Chains A and B, each alone.
Chain A
Amino acid sequence: MIKFKLNGKEVETSAPPTLRLIDLLRDEFDLIGTKEGCGDGECGACSVMVNNLVQNSCLIPIGAIECADILTIDGYSKTELFKILSDCYSEAGAVQCGFCIPGMVMASAALLSENPNPTEEEIREGISGNLCRCTGYNMIVDAISLAAKKGDGIW
C-alpha cells in the first residue's frame, strides 16, 4: 500500500510502484484535469505539485511518492489563487485549445509562489518546460504578469 496526500486528503493505493503518477491520478482517482501530452517530460501538460514543487507526473513512479503531498489542477482549481490566474488567463486571451492550460497553470502557480514579482524573462523561464502550440506564449506571459499584479501580496 502506498499512502500519500492528494489534494488535501489522505489517500492510499495498491497500484504497482512503477505505475506513473499521471496514470494513477487519471485512472484510479478520476482526476482528469491533469493531461498527458508527450509522456517524456518534454511538454509539461502533466505538471502537478509534489511537496509544493512543480513536477512532471508522467515521470514519477508512484513508489516514490509515499508520504508526499500531491496537488493537481483539480485540487488547485478550488483555491482563491486559481481564481486570480483563471481570470487573468481569460482577460489576456491566453487560452485557445486549452490542452496545455492545466499544466501551464500549475507552472504559473509554482513560479508565482516562489517569485511573486517575476520579470518577463523569469516568467518565460518558469513556463519553459510547458509547450503550447496555439498561443505563441505571449498571451500566457501577459496573463502571468497580470496575475502577479492582481494578486499582489497573496502569492
Chain B
Amino acid sequence: MTLLSVRNLSVAIHEKPIVKDISFNLGAGEILALTGESGSGKSISALALMGLLPLGSKKGGIINFDGNDLNKISENKFCKLRGKKISMVFQEPMTALNPLKNIGRQISETLVQHKACAPHELKNRVRNTMDRVGLSGIDPSRFPHQLSGGQRQRVVIAMAVCLEPSILIADEPTTALDVTTQAKILELLKKFAEQDGISIILITHDLAIVANIANYLILMKEGILVDQGEPKKVFRDLAHPYTKKLFSASSQKLILKENEISKGKLLEVNSVSVNYKSHNRGLFSKGTSIEAVSDVSFDIKRGERLGLVGESGSGKSTLTRTILGLQSTSSGYIEFEGKKISKDNRSFKKNIQVVFQDPYGSFNPRHKVERLIAEPFFALGKEAPHETEQKSIVKEMLEEVGLPLNSTEKYIHEFSGGQRQRIAIARALVIKPKLIIFDEAVSALDLSIRNQILKLISDLTERHGLSYLFISHDLTVIENITEKCLVMKNGKIVEQGQTKQILNDPRNEYTHSLIDAAPKFPEFGHA
C-alpha cells in the first residue's frame, strides 16, 4: 500500500535549483533509503517533505500523503501533521536538543503539542517511550549535556516516535556517532519499521548501510534521481554508471607499495600518560584528574605507516596533541629522532606536520592559498628558504597534489572539500617533514573523493619515503592505508600489530566488536 507518493518534486533555494523533478513512492512499514554524495539534494528533499525548507526556497510538484498534497496545505494544518504523522530525526545529536530543557520535557512536548494524552499520563508516556528507544535507566530530568551522543540521538528518536507516526524521516542519524553506537541505532530504526509498521525514509551516504537495512533505494546526484530499486537488485546489476562508480568506490582496495623501512626509530612514544584536571577545582581542593591517555607505548620507524583506531573519547586526540607538543605528558616521554618532545622544545616542528579533519576550519579564510601553503616556512625561522624559492616550492607542491597552478591566487572558500584537503596536504609537505599525522583527514569527505585523497597520500609517501600516523575511526580507511595499527580504548592501547592480521583475526574483544559493528556489503554475486 502506498502511504506517500512524491511526484515531480523540485526545490529551488534563492532561485538555484537543488532538487530536480524527483518522484517516488513509500509503502507502509518500508525502509526507503535516500542516498547520494554531499550536495545531491537528499537532505533538502527530506526538509521539503517536512515542510521545513529554509527561508527563500520554492518547491514544486505533488507530495501526496493521506489524501493531502503536502505542497499545498496550510502551515497550520502542516503543524498538526508534523511530529504526529510525519516526524524527523536529524544528523547532529549534539545540537538537536535544547540545552536549557530537560529531556523529559522535550519528549513530552510532542505529546502536549498534539494533545495526545491527559496531563497525569504524561509522565508514564514519556517513561514508556524512553524505554522503547533504549533509555531505560535514564532519568527524564537529565539535561542534554549530561548524555552521550548516542543517548542524545535516542532522545531525538523518542520525540519522533512517541506518537507512532506513519513516516519517520531520519537524516544521516548515525553519521556523527561511533560505529558500535551506529549499529545499535540502526537496529532500533529497523525494529520500528518491522514491529510498529512505521515507514522510514533513511537518508545516508553510506551504501553499506543501505544494502543492509533498506527495502528500496533512491540514488541522487546533483538534485536528480539517477537510479532506484531494491538494493539487492541495484547493487547486483549496477545498471547506471554512477551507481557503478559509487559502488566500486566503496569497495575499492588500495594497494600500498612497500616502503623502505629503516631500523632506527623516528618517533618513540614511551609509556606516556596524560592526565587532565577536571574543572571542578574548588578554592582549596585540587579536584580529581582524568586519565585521557594511559601508559601508551609505540614507535614509528622511518618509512613506516601506522594507523590508530578508536571511538570518540578513546584518547586519540589527546595523544595527537601530545605528539605535536601541544599537551604535556604526565609521565613517560616522547622522542623524535632521539630528542625529547616537550612544550618548550619545538625544533621537532620542522619534521612533524599535521593534516586535520576539517580542512576549512584549519585555514585562515582571509589569506590566499599561496600564503596558506607557505605557512610552515615560518616555523623554520632563519632556515627558511628565500621568498622566490618558497614560491617555486609552493607551485611544486600544488602540482604534486594535483591542483592547478593558478590556485595560489585563490582563497580557501573557492575550493571544494576534497581540494581543500589537497591544499592541507600540500601545506604539510612543503617543508619536507619526516612524519605526517593525519587526524581523521578523510572522514568529512565523500567516498569517491576520499579514495582519491587516500590514493594521493599513498603515492606521495611512496615518492618521498614519508612516514605517517593515520588516525581514524574508520577501519576500512585504516585497512587501506596502513601496514601496522594500534587500537585504542579508554586511553589504553588494547591491541597492536600488523593491520591485516588485526582486521582478519582480532585478539581483543573490543577490536572484534568494532569490526563487527562496521557496516559491510553483503555478497552480490559480482563476477
Our verdict on whether A and B bind, yes or no, reads: no
